[in-house]
Chains A and B, each alone.
Chain A
Amino acid sequence: MMTCADVRDRLDALLEGRLAPEDAASILGHVATCAECREDLSAAEELRPLVASLSRHIEPPPELWGAIRRNLRSPERPDATRWSRRSVVFVLATAAIVLIALSSLITLEVVRRTGRSTRPAIAVVAWEADYRAAAADLHTELQRRRSQLPTSTILAVERDLAVIDSAISEAGRALSGEPNDTTLRRLLRSSHEQKLALLRRAVFLGPET
């Protein structure tokens, strides 16, 4: 015996033609004798084409993106945690120590290999240009936000950038003499990565504009 609850459960399936003929007949038999269910069926039938015609997109106010953008902060990244402003100086100082050690390592490599070869590091040029371009983009962004950053942060960033640039220069000079040396390449690439990481961190730490 079909109940009103049974009919309600299957009404949409009926309207979409998803019911077996005997089930559809049972529902229609009940509807013929039940004013409540007849009302529900009529309402669903009449609304169906209207609902289907509704747009799934309604344009938001054009100024909404600006409001959203002002509220965007650096997202949590899968490979990094968000850095607090208070910890940045400490972190950058630690990074500087690591970079000084890296620079010294490169210097040792340079001294050890001096005079071996004078071939240009052609293979390195392509990817190093990418690093330099990326660093330039980030540096531009950092300069744009410079006035909004604490002085201590700016000083820490500039000091570490100087250390990294020195390391990059040394590694580059060494590679110009040994363009196929994988250790030197790795050192150079690592220095560039360090520079980009520092710049990204500094940019993301800055206030959003």
Chain B
Amino acid sequence: MSSLVLGLSHSSITRPSAGSLRHDVPVTNAATLVRRAQVGDEHAFRTLYQQHAGAVFAVCVRLSADGVLAAELTQDVFVRAWEGLASFRGESAFSTWLHRIAVNVVLAHQRTAERRERRVSLPGDLELESHGVDGPSAAESIDLERAIAKLPTGARTVFVLYDIEGYSHADIASLTGIAEGTSKAQLFRARRLLREALK
């Protein structure tokens, strides 16, 4: 698909030859993909999805502790991202912007949905990447994933956001509406519960 189809100016991107198919669009960088997606190019958005779906699904599945729900939330994240692309100004990385949407979508769901009893089933429906031979084994990682999924919601949310995703307690307080002190207390509670579960 040419830039003209997408409504881009002549100088904004390098266009393929006239008449080329949309599948031939050269993917140069994230900014170009975002710009194309912003004007309605689903193929560019699909490439962005392919690049970021794993990270979005990971945060959704860990926060929700439910593989089926995580898929629904991931879908919601990308639909919202598509609809909100015009508001993305490139002031942060696209991945950061998308990650924030994902966290907000999951936390909003947690605030409004009834507590779900289903728990994630890792071996059957999720594919975890294997890790280096020098570090913990894949089995240990899966044990940890299971243990995280069994944490109480509050402790799990703080543990995932702080220890795995790298948010500060101030960020977590802002995102979840709890006090910073509560966030810290939940983190230490989560760590102790996990340590106990992994013994």
User: Chain B: interface residue count, which band?
Assistant: 35 or more
Binds B, one of A16-24, A65-73, A87-95: A65-73
CB within 8 Å: A-B pair count: 158
> Shortest CB–CB separation between residue B20 and chain A, in angstroms?
8
Main DSSP-derived SS at the A contact region: helix
List of B residues within 8 angstroms of A73 by Cβ:
82-83
User: Chain A: interface residue count, which band?
Assistant: 35 or more
List of A residues within 8 angstroms of B53 by Cβ:
59-60, 64-65
Binds A, one of B73-81, B109-117, B150-158, B170-178: B73-81
> Shortest CB–CB separation between residue A49 and chain B, in angstroms?
6
A52 touches B135 (CB 8 A): yes
List of A residues within 8 angstroms of B131 by Cβ:
53, 55
List of B residues within 8 angstroms of A46 by Cβ:
195, 198
List of A residues within 8 angstroms of B188 by Cβ:
8, 40, 43
Main DSSP-derived SS at the B contact region: helix
Known A55-B128, A200-B5: A49·B58 in contact at CB below 8 Å: no
Known A58-B57, A59-B126: A78·B38 in contact at CB below 8 Å: yes
CA distance A52 to B128 in the complex (A): 14
Q: Which of B77-111 contact A (CB under 8 A)?
A: 78-79, 82-87
> Shortest CB–CB separation between residue B151 and chain A, in angstroms?
12
Query: Of residues B37, B55, B127, B188, which shows the largest number of chain A Cβ atoms within 10 Å of its Cβ?
Result: B188
CA distance A43 to B87 in the complex (A): 42
List of A residues within 8 angstroms of B191 by Cβ:
40, 43-44, 47
Known A75-B38, A75-B85: A58·B140 in contact at CB below 8 Å: no
Taking a contact as CB atoms closer than 8 A, the residue among A42, A74, A135, A136 that contacts B195 in the complex is A42
At the interface, yes or no: A32 with Cβ under 8 Å from chain B? Answer: no
The residues of A with any CB-CB pair to B shorter than 8 Å are: 8-9, 39-40, 42-44, 46-47, 49-61, 64-65, 67-69, 71-79, 127, 129-138, 196-197, 200, 204
